[in-house]
Structure 1
Amino acid sequence: MEQKTVTQMIKGNFSALSSGQKKVAEFLLEHLDEGSLLTAFQIGRKVGVSETTVIRLAYALGFSGYSEMQETIRREWLTHVQPGKSEGKPSSRDGFEENQLFHQIIEKESQVLNQLLNQLEIDQIWQVVDELHQSKQIFIAGFGSSYAAAYWLYYALKQMRENVVLSSPTGFLPEEICELDEQSTVIMFSYPRYRRESLKLANYANNQKATLIAITDRQLSPIGQLAQLTLTTEEHLESSHHSIASVIGLLEVIISGMNKRNTQNSHVRQKKLEQLYSEQNIFLE
């Protein structure tokens, strides 16, 4: 059986630890490098607990003492700084290439985010922000894989204003869109492979004179061509990869803009929501 890491041990036992032991455990998870080198006394002083509390954490996690826990921390830390040299795994070329796969994915995501930064049109972002503040109602649509980003925006906007509606992942109902008019905004997420439902909704929104905002991969995507405002996340990127990270990054920019122009109404709404969350004891922390 594969030996558990200190991280796994802490997670599995965290709820049973004392408050002081939890402080030490959180410190060790965030500072494996220091945990692999410092004495129990030094860690206790950094965290603000006694040396005894640090040693008792080792016992609570199933170690024979602090030295054994520190040795396990040291091995775990080394696997972080020297990926591909973890115990029990051959240091073969195939193993190295497999580990490199994850680095390549992160690098690709970084390229997409950098591209997003370079192509942002600030004036257009502010136009979207103002539209979302001023609209009578907002209908957010994302079908298939685009639904995840649509739901993220829906949840964020519901914290800030009323009259926000979300499509289902598979389509929309006539009852959901029958009241769209020139005071409404439709936000459409559309990425390859483009769904026919997106085109139907976009045409209906334009016929009702609603403002159509497209969040898509390129200006000339099927929905991008129809929208009054089109925000793209991967324009000019030479890749068939479509990143959810870039879409969420763009939405973070929009929400930050809305917070910057926070109206009194949204401030009052957020205050009411926080009161409800507290009364209903919804969150753990």
Structure 2
Amino acid sequence: MDNNSKDLMRIIQQKFSRLSKGQKLIAEYILKHYDKAAFMTAAKLGTSVGVSESTVVRFANELGFSGYPNLQKSLQEMIKNKLTSVQRIELSNDYISQGNALKGVLKADMENIRVTLEKINHNTFDGVVNSIFEARNIYIIGLRSSTALADFLGFYLNLILDNVKVVGYGISDILEQMINVNENDLVIGIGFPRYAVKTIDALTFAQNRNAKVVALTDSLLSPLAAKADYTLIAQSNMASFVDSLVAPLSVINALIMAVGLREKEKISNTFSRLEHIWEEYQVYDYKDKDKDNQ
């Protein structure tokens, strides 16, 4: 455990003797099952230990939190980079059953987008867009499940700009692909718990070479954020072995749109040429169009 987790657990242990009988039940449950408690509502936690929701709220207050959501957030910060895939599977079995998977996951993703809209800094977002246009070269790195996000961002930025490179696993090592990074360049790192070490290394490499660094991650406490000049926050909470990438992808869509709006004429010309290429080489299904022309 890190210092934050030790501090929280120590507070619970130190205050244990002064807690009420019901609060002690909550404390014992959290000490033993903090990974599950972190994703429980106050009502759910109360039901699990046999106390009322108000007792759970009073327990949070007794620990020095202004309310249960702050205690829950502290628990989530404590464990989010520690959960193994096996533990995530156990959590998903507890909170998302086969019968409610569709509704449960979609509702969780909706909440992630809602929280992201509240947390994201609009000035930071504008600063990132400006940095994209100021950069000589743009390097994008996202590994493991974040590879899909990096590829998506790279694909669309490459249609608008001509200085974008997606860095990833391949014949060359990741840092070899970034060997020429310097103070004129921008490096965009994408990563969510559990954070890929190679992504952190790449941002450290870029930072040491005075490149401007942007992190798209889940928290200002993220190891990616520690290396960044700009940090875009996107919530990815999901009590599951599947990472929730809906909110990060939405932020990426907004970035692409913001960049595109500054290059309207260029985009129009690019897509006009692409349409001819796509049709000539049958990239897409043009059967319906052919029927219309008959």
TM-score normalized with structure 1 length: 0.60
Identity between Structure 1 and Structure 2 (%) = 21
Distance (Å, rounded) in 1 between the aligned partners of 2:173 and 2:230: 21
Runs of 5+ consecutive residues of structure 2 not aligned to the other structure: 1-96, 287-294
SS in 1 for 2:250: helix
- Structure 1 position 169, deviation (Å): 4.6
- Structure 1 position 277, deviation (Å): 2.4
SS in 2 for 1:219: coil
Q: In structure 2, do the counterparts of structure 1 residues 200 and 194 end up closer, same or farther at CA, with 3 Å as the change threshold?
A: same
- Structure 1 position 102, deviation (Å): 2.2
Find out whether 1:245 has 2:214 as its counterpart: no
Deviations 1:115-166 (A, max 9, x none): 1111222121111112112311111111111111111111111111112111
Q: In structure 2, do the counterparts of structure 1 residues 163 and 146 end up closer, same or farther at CA, with 3 Å as the change threshold?
A: same
Find out whether 1:133 has 2:133 as its counterpart: yes
| Counterpart position of 1:84 | none
Deviations 1:208-234 (A, max 9, x none): 211110011101211101100001112
Q: In structure 2, do the counterparts of structure 1 residues 238 and 145 end up closer, same or farther at CA, with 3 Å as the change threshold?
A: closer
Q: In structure 2, do the counterparts of structure 1 residues 270 and 101 end up closer, same or farther at CA, with 3 Å as the change threshold?
A: closer
Distance (Å, rounded) in 2 between the aligned partners of 1:138 and 1:157: 10
- Whichever residue aligns with residue 257 of structure 1, its letter is A
Distance (Å, rounded) in 2 between the aligned partners of 1:102 and 1:279: 40
Higher helix share: 2
Q: In structure 2, do the counterparts of structure 1 residues 175 and 275 end up closer, same or farther at CA, with 3 Å as the change threshold?
A: farther
Q: Is the 8 A contact 1:137 1:164 kept in 2?
A: yes
| Counterpart position of 1:116 | 116
Larger gyration radius, structure 1 or structure 2: 1
- Structure 1 position 274, deviation (Å): 3.3
Distance (Å, rounded) in 1 between the aligned partners of 2:228 and 2:112: 23
Q: In structure 2, do the counterparts of structure 1 residues 238 and 275 end up closer, same or farther at CA, with 3 Å as the change threshold?
A: closer
- The one of the two structures with greater contact order (alpha-carbon pairs below 8 A, sep at least 6) is 2
| Counterpart position of 1:57 | none
- Whichever residue aligns with residue 274 of structure 2, its letter is L
Find out whether 1:223 has 2:249 as its counterpart: no
Runs of 5+ consecutive residues of structure 1 not aligned to the other structure: 1-96
SS in 2 for 1:231: strand
Distance (Å, rounded) in 2 between the aligned partners of 1:123 and 1:138: 20
Q: Select between 124-133 and 219-228 the one with higher mean Cα deviation.
A: 124-133
What CA RMSD, in Å, does the superposition of the two structures yield over aligned residues?
2.4
Aligned length: 188
- Whichever residue aligns with residue 214 of structure 2, its letter is I
Q: Is the 8 A contact 1:160 1:267 kept in 2?
A: no
